[in-house]
Amino acid sequence: MIHKLLIANRGEICCRVIKTAKRMGILTVAVYSDVDQDALHVSLADEAVYLGPAPSKQSYLCADKIIEIALQVGADAIHPGYGFLSENAEFARLCEQNNIIFVGPPIGAIEAMGSKSAAKNIMQKAKVPLVPGYHGDEQSLDILKSHADAMGYPVLLKAAAGGGGKGMRQVWQASEFKTALEAAKREAMSSFNDDLMLVEKYLTQPRHIEIQVFCDQHGNGVYLFERDCSIQRRHQKVVEEAPAPGLTDDLRQQMGEAALKAAKAINYVGAGTVEFLLDVDERFYFMEMNTRLQVEHPVTEFITGQDLVEWQIRVANNEPLPLHQKQLTINGHAFEARVYAEDPDNDFLPSTGRLTLLRAPAESAYVRIDTGVQQGDEVSVYYDPMLAKLIVWDMDRSKALARLHLALAQYHIEGVTTNLAFLNKLTQLEDFKQANIDTGFIEKHQTQLAQYSGAQSSTLVPMAALALMLKRQQHKSVAQQDQYSPWSANNTWRANETYSETFDLLVNNESHQVCITQSENKHQLQFNINYQNQSFLCTGVINQQALISTINGHKTSLPFCAHDLGYTLCHPSGLVRFSAVAADLGLSEDNNQHHNFAAPMNGTVVAILVQKNESVVAGQSLIVIEAMKMEHAIKATKAGKVTEFYFKVGELVDGGAELLAFDTEE
């Protein structure tokens, strides 16, 4: 029996595991790095133990240290979450050697699925359908290319050790094969220290459908249906749903049974996910098996009414599975939207900063938020930039989608750039509503998705002006303490005249002129705000958290915060950043623009792609920076040549640092 569980992870998944463990009466132990000492996962756990410096290699990836801590605190089990050590067979072995239960599959199963090519060999033997391709050991250019030529283009090159979309390249014609192979190998080598490649037929319009499987130590196995994870950027999921729209019961059963066959082939135990590609002709192909809990497991929990972490703990306790296949049913529809600190307008580059405002929609039977951050937290370069998962449920897809839209409009984050507005826009697209989805959805709808033009409403400017006036009154009342003096009165009293003022204010980086007349009212300040020849009668109150305004009789309450660069109001259509100072506050998107060859953020140089003085064309990638587990290529804006690289591969760079010197071709 597990009495004390150490969670070898951080952030939302650690918090999520703690919740279930507590409900089951299990004591919890968190571990934390230097930058996480005040993190949510630390405060939620019964105990927390310091692990090491911020970089994961010195903290969350230190298998030895984690085992040592588990022994020291008397934890009898370790839950690895996902990422970090969750699919590390060596770590599972260390647990076993120290008599600690590893809440995950047997070592052999992790090893079997650790390499995409080895996994494919096993699945081929088990007669699970595979994407046509080559997954052997012969790795010469000629052999790999001859397989690609034989299966026909396009093909996909994939790193056998791959994950996170790294080491993957599409090849559309034979002439591109050599360059693509070199690039994929280089990326695989730097990411996984292993450049074994496989070649697959590239399906041009597939859906990513994965099956949740669960097996116990008594030979029982079930599948908890599927998740559609086709909405991806950089081959990584951003929106998932369950069940997969339009999947027939027959196909669901076929895929479920194939997934179980895959699990049985490696004597699987615990939670696992078998990923398939579903082609337009309804044929499905095994892609890989993830031997852990997936990020998107909550959608399965919503539609099945089960707690998968509880299942994991029960299985680890050697109990039989809580339900048989026949007892499992699908109820309603669920979506998960991953909220990332990233900039959709800048190639989804991760964003860092302090969360000056964080307002999530209220949780209910329909809305669930899994997060590991709180207002005031710093989003650093060290870990994955996912801030939260917003999960919604309702009786059918369209109702659930309406819940998702509402919840996204109620989700507000300031301090880092997020993908919230992008998610909102994406899920409002007609094709998404109609479930016309495949893995190329985001690319296909790029133009529409890029058209997001910020918060929209005719009353935004009057509202911002009102907020500024109210803030000013607040300052006055704090500054002037003589309550009997007319000069400190919190109203509009002026000797012999009505007070009127014209000023410029900056709203989402655009300048607007407003004329404000204050009128006397014993109980409340009233402002007549004239903007673009329209008159708005405004009253309101403001505090640290919200602006409650009535504009021409329409009363609303919007989250509000003050920060170093001005103020932000959270309108359902987007953030409204404003200030009375008519200067460049750096609040606009321009702020994100950096010198062409400056590091966009703190990170590590992972590749230099061209030689010094080699001629390059406009758009060609020159150097690659990795930060927050994502790569960002710095490209030539014009044709020319690099005359100097200021950093070497492996070196750390500060955000804003010049990376190279470039001579433009005349």
Site residues (vs ligand ADP, CB under 6 A): 131, 156, 162-165, 200-203, 206, 208, 232, 235, 275, 277, 287-288, 439
Beta strand 284-290 with 333-340 is unpaired
User: Which of residues 80 and 415 has its CB atom nearest to ligand ADP in the complex?
Assistant: 80
Catalytic residue among 10, 207, 233, 292: 292
- Least distance in angstroms from the C-beta of 271 to ligand ADP: 17
Structure tokens at 475: 């300052």
Q: Which of 408, 417, 406 is nearest to 356 (CA)?
A: 417
Give yes or no for a contact between 504 and 513, defined as CB atoms under 8 angstroms apart.
yes
- Least distance in angstroms from the C-beta of 301 to ligand ADP: 21
User: Which of residues 65 and 158 has its CB atom nearest to ligand ADP in the complex?
Assistant: 158
**Which residue type does 588 have?**
S
Would you state the torsion angle of the CA atoms of residues 275, 280, 282, 286, taken in this order, to the nearest 10 degrees? -20
Distances (CA, A) of 168 to 155, 191, 385: 11, 12, 21
For tokens 């329209």, the residue is 534
User: Which of residues 36 and 228 has its CB atom nearest to ligand ADP in the complex?
Assistant: 228
User: Which of residues 192 and 503 has its CB atom nearest to ligand ADP in the complex?
Assistant: 192
Q: Which residue is nearest to ligand ADP (CB)?
A: 439
- Least distance in angstroms from the C-beta of 167 to ligand ADP: 7
- Least distance in angstroms from the C-beta of 193 to ligand ADP: 16
User: Which of residues 63 and 168 has its CB atom nearest to ligand ADP in the complex?
Assistant: 168
- Least distance in angstroms from the C-beta of 81 to ligand ADP: 17
Active site includes 494?
no
Could you tell me which residues come within 8 angstroms of residue 223 by beta carbon, excluding any fewer than 6 positions away? 211, 212, 213, 214, 256, 257, 259, 260, 325
- Least distance in angstroms from the C-beta of 208 to ligand ADP: 4
- The CA angle 458-463-468, to the nearest 5 degrees, is 145
CB pairs under 8 A, 24+ apart, for 636-643?
636/662, 637/596, 638/664, 638/665, 639/615, 639/664, 639/665, 640/615, 640/616, 640/664, 640/665, 641/612, 641/613, 641/614, 641/615, 641/616, 641/665, 642/610, 642/612, 642/613, 642/614, 642/616, 643/612, 643/613
User: Which of residues 67 and 184 has its CB atom nearest to ligand ADP in the complex?
Assistant: 184
Give yes or no for a contact between 103 and 319, defined as CB atoms under 8 angstroms apart.
no
| Residues identified as active-site | 292
